[in-house]
């Protein structure tokens, strides 16, 4: 089986800015609904003028859990990982957000403290927009206000579904769910029962989302391949049997 982790410079989000998160396949969340993609260029320019530029290397923090909120961080390029750290130090990855999305919620206007952390998953450029500036712009422009609401809906459904799936489904089922969701959101249109996931994510990133290890993901993908459910290729994962993958957890 090909090693889907072979390339080290692969971004965990697609070139079009798709986010990476675990969500029930029956959900219809459009993760391509990026805040910046819903706004006219003049308003995007206003947000950039209101913000300050952050250029981060991989692993550098955007904000840290417990720090005071002070607005949002719009992702101009690159990818940002959001994660929660428990009292024991154990981390759970919440999502990867790409170009056009923002991080820093759920408080948008600078109140309270961050309840999770964010760091650059790849070299990234962000605009930091203060809560005061964001509130003023949203009060003046209903398009921005609605864009912020729509983005929070996507994030809320993402994190709610993540909590439900992690609490109620085994790891094998979670991986199957994630592969199906990725095929629907970032892959090609299904042809018969086949659909393709481009190589936009690594085994390590898949493992972080489902709460497992890279070695376990690699082994389970190999098992899925032996069972005729997927084909792992140098540039993609092809889902050969969607129905079988949905039912994969019953055999595990």
206-241: per-residue pLDDT in tens? Answer: 888 888 899 999 999 999 999 999 998 887 888 888
90-131: per-residue pLDDT in tens? Answer: 888 888 888 889 999 888 998 889 999 999 988 999 999 999
Higher-pLDDT residue of 158 and 128 is 128
Task: Give residue 189's Cα distance to chain centre.
Answer: 20
66-96: per-residue pLDDT in tens? Answer: 999 999 999 999 989 999 988 888 888 888 8
User: Cβ of 76: how many Cβ atoms within 10 Å?
Assistant: 17
pLDDT band at 183 (very low <50, low <70, confident <90, very high): confident
Average confidence (pLDDT) over 43-69: 95
The reported pLDDT for the residue numbered 10 is 36
What is the Cα–Cα distance from 43 to 39, expressed in whole angstroms?
Answer: 6
Cα dist from 189 to 180, 194, 240, whole Å:
12, 9, 13
Would you say residue 132 has pLDDT above 70?
A: yes
- Tell me which of 3.30.70.2860, 1.10.10.10, 3.90.1170.50, 3.40.50.1000 is the CATH number of domain 169-247: 1.10.10.10
CA nearest to 63, candidates 105, 123, 17 = 105
- Strands 195-198 and 102-103, how do they pair? unpaired
Domain boundaries, the chain: 36-166, 169-247
- 169-247 and 36-166 share a CATH fold: no
Let me know if 161 is exposed, middle or buried by CB neighbors in 10 A (0-12, 13-18, 19+).
buried
Phi, psi of 134 (to 5 degrees): -65, -45
CATH of segment(s) 36-166: 2.60.120.10
Residue 59 tokens, joined = 């692993």
């Amino acid at each position: 089986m090909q090693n889907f982790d072979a390339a080290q410079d692969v971004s965990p989000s697609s070139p079009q800015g798709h986010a990476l998160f675990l969500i029930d396949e029956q959900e219809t969340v459009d993760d391509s609904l990026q805040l910046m993609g819903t706004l006219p260029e003049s308003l995007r320019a206003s947000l950039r003028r209101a913000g300050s530029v952050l250029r981060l290397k991989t692993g550098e923090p955007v904000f840290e859990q417990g720090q005071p909120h002070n607005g949002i961080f719009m992702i101009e390029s690159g990818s940002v990982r959001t994660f929660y750290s428990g009292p024991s130090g154990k981390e759970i990855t919440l999502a990867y957000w790409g170009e056009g999305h923002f991080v820093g919620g759920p408080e948008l206007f600078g109140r309270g403290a961050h309840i999770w952390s964010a760091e650059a998953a790849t070299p990234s450029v962000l605009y930091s927009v203060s809560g005061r500036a964001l509130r003023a712009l949203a009060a003046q422009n209903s398009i921005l206000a609605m864009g912020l609401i729509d983005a929070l809906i996507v994030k809320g459904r993402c994190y709610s579904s993540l909590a439900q799936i992690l609490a109620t489904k085994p790891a094998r089922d979670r991986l199957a769910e994630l592969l199906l969701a990725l095929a629907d959101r970032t892959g090609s249109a299904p042809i018969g029962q086949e659909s393709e996931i481009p190589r936009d994510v690594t085994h390590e990133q898949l493992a972080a989302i489902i709460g497992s290890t890279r070695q376990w993901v690699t082994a389970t993908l190999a098992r899925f391949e032996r069972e005729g459910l997927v084909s792992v290729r140098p540039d993609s994962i092809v889902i050969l049997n969607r129905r079988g993958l949905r039912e994969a957890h019953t055999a595990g």
